[in-house]
Chains A and B, each alone.
Chain A
Amino acid sequence: MVRPPVLTERGHGKILKLMQLSGNNGDPRPPVTLCQLRRGQEAVVDGFDLPEEVARRLMELGFLPGSAVRAGRSAPGGDPRVFEVDGSEVALRRETAAGIRLRELRAGRTAG
């Protein structure tokens, strides 16, 4: 599938920023969370800072530690946002997305 190059480029730029933000081992700064992901960016779910119930529902919808998640479009104002994960699209509010920790930020989509 041909992707609009603009999107990819934009994705790259944002990713660099995020990588700097997340730093590496021993960094006291808070981890990157899903709400920091911009449209078109992709990352891997690491874990949850959410109540057990909510985390479980999210996992049932595909937000499992280790699965790739990609930020999609949002309602006007940026909240809630639709995320592509494990073959489906799920809308989450910013406050919920902030409770999903990420690792391995990647540019754009790998397959498709």
Chain B
Amino acid sequence: MEKEGTCHTLAVASAGGVASIADHTVAIIGPPNSGKSTLFNRLTGLRQKVANYPGVTVEQRRGKMQLTGMRHVELIDLPGVYSLQARSEDERVTRDVLMGNMPGTPRPKAIVLVLDSTNLGRHLMLAAPILALGIPTLVVLNMSDELGRRGGEIDTADIAKRMGAPVVLASAARGEGVEPVREFLMGTLAVPAPLELPVLNNPPACRAWAAQVSGRAYRPPAPPQWTKRLDAVFLHPLAGPLIFAAVVIAVFQTIFAGAVPMMDWVEAQVTASGKWLGVVLPAGVLRDLLVEGVWGGVGSVVVFLPQILLLFLFIGVLEDSGYLARAAVIADRTMAKVGLQGKSFIPLLSAYACAVPAILATRTIENKRDRMATILIAPFMTCSARLPVYTLVIAAFIPERPLMWPLGTRAAALLGLYLLGFLAAVITARLLKSSILKGERTPFVMEMPPYRWPTAQSLGLRLLDRSKVFLRRAGTVILAVAIGLWIMAHLPLAGGKAPEIGDSVAGTIGRTIEPVIEPLGFNWKIGIGLITSLAAREVIVGTLGTIYGIESEEDAGGLQQALRQDLTPGGAVALLVFFAFAMQCMSTVAVVRRETGGWSWPAIQFGYMTALAYGCALAANYLVTAWLGA
């Protein structure tokens, strides 16, 4: 690398800029899936979402990076872009931040351009418009490990000279070659003489420039053989769909049956610690609140942690391996039938974890109407918060029998509920796209990432983060609801004694709405659960846990037993259907409002989903009761 380079006109600005970058903002930019977030995480110690498909990051994320002593820079991780011509909402974020048009974000003083070294020719196309901005830029050629493994080679010094910008070869995933980034930001990295670059704004010119820059200095790696072999299986006309179905079935069976030992273990701990508390604490209000309210409420939700982690493990493997992008290709035809496209499939699939990030992920959909339709149907996908409710009701009402190896009746019922949600989403999309959101068919263009091994570390971190989110929710929302409910269930005091729960404040509220929900087969206890679950779906499990905890003198065989006494089979099916369709999640309402820029869409969505939930639950209760009665 050249040591001089401070005497040219541009060089002064560049070198001066580099030296004073500390305490300013630095943007990380690059094409999608080049490893920007991986590098960001390395440099800041944060844990931004990283996954193996284009379009993971959809909003700007900032983080402090320590340089030396008190000096630090503010790094901004940005959505991937192919050029500075923004087409979708996420690309617009990158462009606005880069141009200093993003309110609240100062224009970056330097850029770290992350390119995939295994595909340098094409990725260098982005370097032309970025370098032309005249902001000090460090070019990081990422994925050096993959490049080396596949026999590619790069002479970085040569490329740097022809680009007029410092170039380093790195592997963000392994942390190799990351040190020069720090040096660059501290102004101690040797910077080559900047060049007057032609202003290029059409892709052919950029590509020609890229070819000239990489030239002899770059030997492209061999094509990824494993990706070809795996695609031969996963995109096989026959084996592909079969494997897809087999994987789905195995996932459901594992989530249901495989998680049972772990869940039993957690449940045993919760029960034992609750009993222990009951013994060691002196009798009184505090003991009752803790044992009935908190342990009964929060404890009954915590039991589901292993199951949710298992679900996230599967989603993690899908996302990290690169299979997700293939699944989007396979799903495209189906999506096209309802007026959407394969790109909508990725947010919809991530909605199986949670609708909130899924709705954010729709930013990658270029077409506004497609994006809106995807936002509106995403909450129908079975999010992980529904899992505790489904599991509880299914386990209480459906006996486990082998159905079709390896699927048992319970796992099949769970699968059925997932399909039900998917069906509702698809039908709603069809309705929307043939009426208010009618529009032209938009092209589906998607880059396929190479397959990569999901690392134990990245999967482990995902699960750790997920556990934290889950437990935090259990310790805040669910705890607050449990305590509030317990207090309301003990008021008003009559002669210093708590009333029967049915006559308490909570019971009165439940009884007030009972006439409305009675046709669905729900009594006032379920009614209270429906109200509290407006905060978040799984809260109903905690609520029922608290109510039954107060009611039962002895441990009466747990939540399932109690539920069987309170719900008819018709009511149980109705409850499942209600939860499949209703939009009981305030965070989702809030994010839809934010992303659609007003209250009208979330209001329509909430109304539609609640009406559908009510109507279908009513029908389910009526049909099941008639069927069983006959």
Residues of A within 8 A of B (CB): 1, 50, 53-54, 56-62, 64-65, 67, 72-77, 79-80, 82, 84, 86-93, 95-96, 112
Contact = CB atoms under 8 A, between A and B. Distances in A.
Contacts of B325: 91
A61 B231 contact: no
Q: Top 7 nearest A-B pairs by Cβ distance? A: A59-B203, A73-B235, A60-B82, A89-B448, A87-B119, A96-B443, A75-B330
A interface secondary structure, majority: mixed
13 contacts: A57-B82, A73-B231, A76-B237, A76-B241, A84-B223, A86-B119, A88-B447, A90-B446, A91-B342, A91-B445, A91-B446, A91-B448, A95-B441
B444 A96 contact: yes
Contacts of B332: 75, 79-80, 91, 93
Given A60-B203, A87-B121, A112 B443 contact: no
Contacts of B330: 75-76
A77 B396 CA distance: 42
Contacts of B246: none
Contact of A82 (B121, B236, B240, B448): B448
B125 interface: yes
Given A56-B203, A76-B240, A82-B329, A90 B444 contact: no
Contacts of B235: 73-75, 82
B443 A93 contact: yes
Contacts of A95: 441, 443
Interface in B220-239: 220, 222-223, 225, 227, 231-232, 235-238
A80 B237 contact: no
A48 to B, nearest CB: 11
Given A74-B329, A75-B329, 5 more contacts: A67-B207, A82-B329, A84-B223, A112-B222, A112-B223
B223 to A, nearest CB: 6
Contacts of A59: 202-204, 207
B443 A87 contact: no
A74 to B, nearest CB: 7
B47 interface: no
B137 interface: no
Interface in B157-212: 202-204, 207
B85 interface: yes
Contacts of B225: 1
A96 B203 contact: no
A76 B443 CA distance: 18
A13 B165 CA distance: 48
A95 B336 CA distance: 12
Residue among B118, B202, B241, B445 with most chain A CB within 10 A? B445
A60 B119 CA distance: 13
B122 A86 contact: yes
Interface residues of B, number: 42
B253 interface: no
Contacts of B341: 93
Contacts of A79: 332-333
Contacts, number: 107
Contacts of B329: 74-75, 80, 82, 91
Nearest to B244: A76
B87 A57 contact: yes
Contact of A77 (B119, B227, B333, B445): B333
Interface of B: 82-83, 85, 87, 118-119, 121-122, 125, 202-204, 207, 220, 222-223, 225, 227, 231-232, 235-238, 240-241, 325, 328-330, 332-333, 336, 341-342, 441, 443-448
A77 B236 CA distance: 10
A34 B236 CA distance: 21
Contacts of A61: 82, 122, 445, 447
Nearest to A65: B204
Given A72-B231, A82-B329, A53 B87 contact: yes
A57 B203 CA distance: 9
A56 B366 CA distance: 14
A56 B444 contact: no
A11 to B, nearest CB: 15
A56 B85 contact: yes
Contacts of A62: 122
A22 to B, nearest CB: 23
Nearest to A82: B448
Residue among A50, A59, A84 with most chain B CB within 10 A? A59
A67 B223 CA distance: 17
A17 to B, nearest CB: 21
B141 to A, nearest CB: 14
Contacts of B445: 54, 57-58, 61, 90-92, 96
Contacts of A88: 119, 122, 447-448
Contacts of B236: 73
Contacts of A89: 227, 447-448
A73 to B, nearest CB: 4
A31 B76 CA distance: 47
Contacts of B83: 60
A28 B121 CA distance: 37
Contacts of B85: 56
Residue among B238, B240, B444 with most chain A CB within 10 A? B444
Residue among A59, A61, A89 with most chain B CB within 10 A? A89
Nearest to B228: A72
A40 to B, nearest CB: 12
Contacts of A74: 235, 329
A109 to B, nearest CB: 9
B55 to A, nearest CB: 13
Nearest to A78: B237
B82 A80 contact: no
A53 B232 CA distance: 32
A49 B21 CA distance: 46
Contact of A1 (B222, B238, B241, B336): B222
Nearest to B336: A93
A89 B85 CA distance: 21
Contacts of B207: 59, 64, 67, 86
B556 to A, nearest CB: 52
Contacts of A87: 118-119, 121-122, 220
Nearest to A92: B445
Given A82-B329, A86-B121, A93 B448 contact: no
Contacts of A92: 443-445
Contacts of B204: 59, 64-65
B235 to A, nearest CB: 4
Nearest to A72: B231
Contacts of A58: 445
A72 B224 CA distance: 14
Contact of B444 (A60, A72, A80): A80
